[in-house]
Amino acid sequence: MVDFHGWEMPVQFGGILSEHRAVRTACGVFDVSHMGQVFLSGPDACRLVDKLNCNRMSREPGRGTYSHMLAEDGGILDDAITFCLAPDRFLAIVNAATDEADFEWMRRQAGGG
């Protein structure tokens, strides 16, 4: 267990190779409760989440898409899991360590300053 921005988090249980094999052959679970949450909503929300990510986001409510958020030069800023809650409402799950920077970057991309 390690401290991760105020959360006590497990890092490894049996070693990276055994965990990799377990996920590839059985099941893996990743707890996102400690991560940042950014809600995006409005008539242009769908267009914005597509602009922010390198993958086209799911438009089916209840479905999520794992992707990378890209800088203007194509470099990777962060990874995120973005869920479609409704055709005009999305939830992006971002890294806890960079949640404030990710939010500010999203706000700027949306034209918010």
* Alpha-carbon span 106 to 36, nearest angstrom: 13
Instruction: Give the whole-angstrom CA distance, residue 93 versus residue 35.
Output: 6
Structure confidence at residue 23 (pLDDT): 87
- 113 falls in which pLDDT band (50, 70, 90)? low
- The pLDDT value recorded for residue 61 is 93
Select from 86, 88, 81 the least CA-distant residue to 44.
88
**Are 94 and 80 spatial neighbours (Cβ–Cβ below 8 Å)?**
yes
Structure confidence at residue 78 as a pLDDT band (50, 70, 90)? very high
The whole-number average pLDDT for the span 41-58 is: 90
3-state secondary structure of 110: coil
Work out the average pLDDT over 12-32.
84
Task: Give the pTM.
Answer: 0.76
58 or 94, which is more confident: 94
Question: Could you read off the pLDDT of 93-107 as tens digits, one per residue?
Answer: 998 888 999 999 999
Determine the average pLDDT of the residues in 80-86: 95
- Map out the domains of the chain with their CATH numbers: 34-109 (3.30.70.1400)
